[in-house]
Each structure stands twice: as C-alpha cells, then as structure tokens.
C-alpha cells in the first residue's frame, strides 16, 4: 500500500507519495511520468513524512535553505539510483551539465564512461522532483533542456535559487 497527499506550491499542486515511512514520490500534477510506479493501491492519508516534506518545501519556496530532508526511498534500478544520488550532491543555486553528472557517476562506479543520454534518461524519470534536484542539470550547449515538470517550472525553480537563467539560450 502506498499513500498520497497534496502540497499546494506557488508553481502548482504537487503530489507526495510514501510507502508509509519514506517519501517515494514528489510530482507536479500532470507532469511527464506523473506517479510512475505508484501502483493501484493508493490511499490519501496524513503521515509524518508528508509533514516533514511539506516543511521542507515551505522553506524551499520561501527562498530559505530547507532543514532536515525527509527520508527518501528511491525504488528503481541501481543505475538510476546512482544518478539520483549524484543529483543530491548539487548545491542549491548551482548547476551542472549532463556530461558532468555522467563523468561523476562513472568515476564513482568505476566505469570508464557513461553516456550523457543514459544519464538524461535516468534524470527524466526522477520520482522525487525538487528534493532530488534534477532541475539543476543543464545541457553542455547552453540550453536548459527538458524538465518533466515543464521548462517554465525549471526556470522558476532555478530563479528561486538565485541562478541567472538569462544566459541560457532557451529562455
């Protein structure tokens, strides 16, 4: 059984999902891959993990450095989890390229090379948006590239974090 709740953000409603203990999903309503892997047995319920996540998001959207991160459970392949863990290391207000993420994951895993496209595929399916900051990854060519929650939201999140988005060619 999985549980859900809704967080009302300045950028639209966000669905929170939990296994009862940890956060397993955070998606903007209607985004690409919305609620992927959630399953059919879902119940709306107030849980401590949702309260912790809401406090984290409140701080984030007020431009503050959020406090304690809610417990996260990333249910997917070891490769995707490795990419998502790499995203957690990107500080607020900083950006990295897909190539940099690929190089870092390859170095940590002892792999000679990982393709940027493979990293992009893992990032696109990040089930815990914002907290696992996939919006901080950009193209090496100066483009913001995609974001499952929509490019307008990616721009808004980066702007909130103090990133000058005017330097990107798709703004």
Is 131 strand, coil or helix?
Answer: coil
Q: Which of 12, 36, 61 is the last residue before a domain boundary?
A: 61
Give 10-residue mean pLDDT values along the chain (171 residues).
97 96 94 76 95 98 94 93 96 96 93 91 94 96 88 96 88 60
pLDDT attached to residue 163: 96
127 vs 24: CA distance, rounded Å = 7
* CB 2, CB 18: distance < 8 Å: yes
Token code pair at residue 101: 């993420």
Host domain of residue 155: 78-167
Beta carbons within 8 Å of 70's beta carbon, 6+ residues apart: 22, 23, 49, 52, 53, 56, 131
Question: One of 134, 137, 144, 163 is an active-site residue; which one?
Answer: 134
Tokens at residue 60, please? 């984030």
- pLDDT, residue 112, reads 86
The domain that contains 107 carries what CATH number?
A: 1.10.10.10
- pLDDT the model gives residue 32: 75
Concerning whether 116 is annotated as a catalytic residue, the answer is no
């Amino acid at each position: 059984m999985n549980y859900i709740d809704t967080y009302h953000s300045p950028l639209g409603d966000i669905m929170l999902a939990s296994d009862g203990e940890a956060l397993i999903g955070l998606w903007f309503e209607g985004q690409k891959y919305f609620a992927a892997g959630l399953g059919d047995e879902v119940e709306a319920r107030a849980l401590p993990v949702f309260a912790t996540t809401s406090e984290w998001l409140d701080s984030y959207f007020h431009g503050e450095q959020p406090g304690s991160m809610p417990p996260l459970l990333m249910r997917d392949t070891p490769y995707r989890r490795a990419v998502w863990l790499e995203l957690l290391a990107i500080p607020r207000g900083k950006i990295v390229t897909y190539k940099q993420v690929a190089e870092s994951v390859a170095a940590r895993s002892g792999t000679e090379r990982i393709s940027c496209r493979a990293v992009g595929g893992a990032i696109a399916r990040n089930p815990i948006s914002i907290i696992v900051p996939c919006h901080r990854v950009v193209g090496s060519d100066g483009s913001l590239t995609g974001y499952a929650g929509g490019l307008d939201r990616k721009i808004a999140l980066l702007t909130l974090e103090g990133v000058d988005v005017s330097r990107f060619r798709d703004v």
